[in-house]
Amino acid sequence: MTSSPTPLPEAERIARTFLADLERRDLDAAGAPLAADAAITFPGGAVRRSIEEIVAGSSARYDRVGKSIERFDSLHDGADAIVYCFGTLHGVFADGEAFEGIRFIDRFVVRDGLIVRHDVWNDVAFVRPPR
């Protein structure tokens, strides 16, 4: 039996809430919509499987990071809701240098009300190459 796709407004709400919970470091709430086998892929191909892995992976680069969201674009692909989030990053690098205006795109795949995949693209490496 195939499930019906998550409605697009609900999928966008799931993505928006996930990003807000992660930004304010409510890790329990941020982890709630992740499927048990979720894959979160960051620039350079680093794959994280949990909220704890996301936080550990970003702590080497950021003291804190937030997203200013410009818009969401959503569509269905079979039983999956695909949600794109566009905007810019702001925050403080791990060495204390502040930044803002770094472009990002996040792509979420939401199935049965859970995030099964999250792909992250941004221009951080162009602004500040890894040291």
Taking phi over 0 as left and psi of -120 to 50 as alpha, with beta for the rest, 44 belongs to left
Domain ranges of the chain: 8-127
Range list of β-strands (E), the chain: 34-41, 47-48, 62-77, 80-93, 98-111, 114-122
pLDDT given for residue 69 in this prediction: 97
What number does CATH give the domain 8-127?
3.10.450.50
Identify residue 108 by its one-letter amino acid code. F
pLDDT given for residue 9 in this prediction: 97
Say if residue 10's pLDDT is above 70.
Answer: yes
SS3 (DSSP) at 97: coil
Q: Considering the entire predicted model, what is its pTM? A: 0.93
Q: Which of the four pLDDT bands, split at 50, 70 and 90, describes residue 1?
A: very low
Q: What are the structure tokens assigned to 119, written together?
A: 């792909």
Q: Which of the four pLDDT bands, split at 50, 70 and 90, describes residue 2?
A: low
Q: Are strands 47-48 and 114-122 parallel, antiparallel or unpaired?
A: unpaired
Strand order, beta sheet including 114-122:
47-48, 34-41, 114-122, 98-111, 80-93, 62-77
